[in-house]
Amino acid sequence: MFTVTCDQDHVLSLRQDGRALPVSGAYVRHLCAQRGLDLMQGDHQLVDAEFTRDAIEEALGQLSYEIAQAISTRRALLAILNAANKPPATAA
């Protein structure tokens, strides 16, 4: 069972059996707005599989982007480290 909850600060979260899923609260709010759901502080709303799938797919896409950025940053840093460890070229 998946629900959207609105906390005391009006932050929305997607939950499975009471546990928050690591998805974007802003995207959950967007999905709620698309469906005409306006949750107030303390509200809980059951959501369907499509809503849940949309939120999880968006989170996976964001995670893939962040992983790609981390790999790129790692490569750049390793290149700098490798260049710093090479002895200076000598003039011929």
Full domain range(s) for residue 49: 2-61
Query: Does residue 19 sit within a domain?
Result: yes
CB 3 within 8 A of CB 19: no
Query: Does residue 72 sit within a domain?
Result: no
Please tell me what DSSP assigns to residue 83: H
**Domain total for the chain?**
1
Q: How much of the chain, in percent, has pLDDT values that exceed 90? A: 88
Query: Does residue 88 sit within a domain?
Result: no
pLDDT at 20: 95
User: Confidence band (pLDDT; 50, 70, 90) for 87?
Assistant: confident
10-41 residues labelled b (16+ CB within 10 A) or e (exposed): eebbbbeeeeeeebbbebbbebbeeeebebee
Query: Does residue 90 sit within a domain?
Result: no
Report the DSSP beta bridge partners of residue 6: 12
pLDDT by residue (tens digit) across 6-45?
A: 999 999 999 999 899 999 999 999 999 999 999 999 999 9
Query: Does residue 36 sit within a domain?
Result: yes
